[in-house]
Structure 1
Amino acid sequence: MTVTINTLFDEDAIAARVDALAREIADARPERLLVVAVLKGSFIFAADLVRAMHRAGLTPEMEFMHLSSYGAGTQGADEVRILRDVESDVNGRDIILVDDILESGRTLSFAKERLAKRGARSVRIAALLDKPEHRKAAISADYVGFICPDKFVVGYGMDMGHAWRQLPFIGYVVPDEETSSGETRGE
């Protein structure tokens, strides 16, 4: 099977936006900052963001949370299952939840509420991509990389059937009839 992927946001645009987000976060002067990456899709974004935070003068600690939405259909789920939880004490800390894409908002809403109930001083969200037209939960990101068009995106940590996470850019899958120049082809 051939897959065509067109570039949506290139490496330079992503790097510039990640640096800008880190400066925005530093300007907020967080206390006892804990960055919580929501696995799996956010791992590349989270790694680049914490390095950019370091360059901006912050000294964040890092944790991981692995959540799974599940239900009867393919359009998202109403229930969230915890596969890996934050192990650090979050009481009194400023937390930045980092995710690759804020779409329905159910998973991030669940994570934010869970950390707040555990005593976090604040819980803010940094989303690389925001698809506000797909929101199902009353939540928004505090720090947004890019507004994402209604396309299936891959690369920079995001996958399609466990493939394409390694791409250094964010691309979108193109149906065969929409193939255009500037594409990447894979098997």
Structure 2
Amino acid sequence: MTTINTLFDEDAIAARVADLAREIALSKPERLLVVAVLKGSFIFAADLVRAMHRAGLTPEMEFIHLSSYGAGTEGSENIRILRDVESDVNGRDIVLVDDILESGRTLKFARDRLNERGARSVSIAALLDKPDKRKTAISADYVGFACPDKFVVGYGMDMGHAWRQLPYIGYVASVGDDSGA
């Protein structure tokens, strides 16, 4: 049996997302395009663009679907493009949104791709950051929360395509695991 323990509750997430939107607004982006990395970031990205609207921004929204996990729990070095950004990114300020910055491979791949296509700037907004897991030199410009070394689910993130629907972020624990967060 899988047990999910709460790491960040709904209220903490909502407050932090609003803070991130205000931080992004302070950068005064031009022709802002928000690019959500599917699938894990879809809930975070939706909440973030609504919060950006409340912060006075009028972003356009796009999606890139990259795969490095498949149905497993460990990322790989092989990144596949399942759906690419369709909008012209040339000369635009882009906020690349992802659920978690871990190895950094996927976000580096996406950032480099957008820069190669002529983006004016590409900043990264990551809901969770696991800097101890980094495999490449990259950091997020906007971070929701530092994340402990646990496998997290909920708020769009999954384990084998399950648990995305949880309104909070939790970590997967076996029955009897009392290690805490």
Unaligned runs of 5+ in 2: none
AA aligned to 2:44 is: F
Matched, 1:127 2:113: no
Alignment size in residue pairs: 179
Unaligned runs of 5+ in 1: 182-187
Q: Could you tell me the TM-score, scaled by structure 2's length? A: 0.94
2:67–2:80 Cα contact (<8 Å) kept:
yes
Alignment partner, residue 17 of structure 1: 16
2:73–2:160 Cα contact (<8 Å) kept:
no
Give the direction of change, closer, same or farther, for the CA distance of 1:143–1:179 in structure 2 (3 Å limit): same
> By how many angstroms is 1:101 displaced?
0.3
Give the direction of change, closer, same or farther, for the CA distance of 1:149–1:41 in structure 2 (3 Å limit): same
Give the direction of change, closer, same or farther, for the CA distance of 1:70–1:156 in structure 2 (3 Å limit): closer
> Once the two structures are superposed, what CA deviation does each residue of 1:162-183 show, in whole Å capped at 9, x if it has no partner?
11100000001112121599xx
Give the direction of change, closer, same or farther, for the CA distance of 1:52–1:93 in structure 2 (3 Å limit): same
Residue identity (%): 82
AA aligned to 1:47 is: A
2:102–2:133 Cα contact (<8 Å) kept:
yes
Matched, 1:93 2:92: yes
Q: For 1:169 and 1:97, how far apart are their aligned partners in 2?
A: 22
Alignment partner, residue 56 of structure 2: 57
Q: For 2:78 and 2:28, how far apart are their aligned partners in 1?
A: 34
Matched, 1:76 2:75: yes
AA aligned to 2:6 is: T
> Once the two structures are superposed, what CA deviation does each residue of 1:126-185 show, in whole Å capped at 9, x if it has no partner?
00000000000100000000000001100000011211100000001112121599xxxx
2:73–2:159 Cα contact (<8 Å) kept:
no
AA aligned to 2:148 is: P
Provide the alpha-carbon RMSD of the alignment.
1.8
Larger Cα Rg: Structure 1 or Structure 2? Answer: 1
AA aligned to 2:174 is: P
Farther-moved stretch of structure 1 (74-83 vs 156-165) = 74-83
Matched, 1:26 2:31: no
AA aligned to 1:14 is: I
- What does 1:159-178 align with in structure 2 at a 5 Å threshold? 159-178=158-177
> Once the two structures are superposed, what CA deviation does each residue of 1:15-54 show, in whole Å capped at 9, x if it has no partner?
0000000000000000000000000000000000000000
1:4–1:179 Cα contact (<8 Å) kept:
no
Q: For 2:157 and 2:73, how far apart are their aligned partners in 1?
A: 17
Q: Secondary structure, in 3 states, of the residue corresponding to 1:115?
A: helix
Alignment partner, residue 185 of structure 1: none
Q: Secondary structure, in 3 states, of the residue corresponding to 2:68?
A: strand
1:70–1:81 Cα contact (<8 Å) kept:
no
